[in-house]
Amino acid sequence: MRDTFHDELDRIGSVLVEMTKLVSCAMSRATTALLEADLTLAEEVISSDAEIDRLYRETEDRAFELLARQQPVAGGWICG
């Protein structure tokens, strides 16, 4: 069970690294578009943001699911 947990954490980490690279590239391209007043490049950067957004949503969902599966099960102990 713990191996599965760590494997899933590794997968999430890999996607976060990929997202970081995509954002870094987008920031560089956006800066170039701004400095050169390149509207076409700016539109390309905006269009490519959909992929970053998709990865973000998928990673967030995966992380919440992983955390939910790791929560301890409520016990039968009642105070009183």
2: closest CA among 69, 74, 61, 64? Answer: 69
Q: Contact 29/41 with Cβ under 8 angstroms?
A: yes
The residues, any chain, with a CB within 8 Å of residue 33's CB and separated by 6 or more, are 39, 41, 42, 45
Residues 20-77: tens digit of each pLDDT: 999 999 999 999 999 999 999 999 999 999 999 999 999 999 999 998 887 665 555 5
Show me where the domains of the chain are located: 2-69
What residue has token string 């701004």? 34
Tokens of 17: 């690294």
15-30 pLDDT, tens digit per residue, is 999 999 999 999 999 9
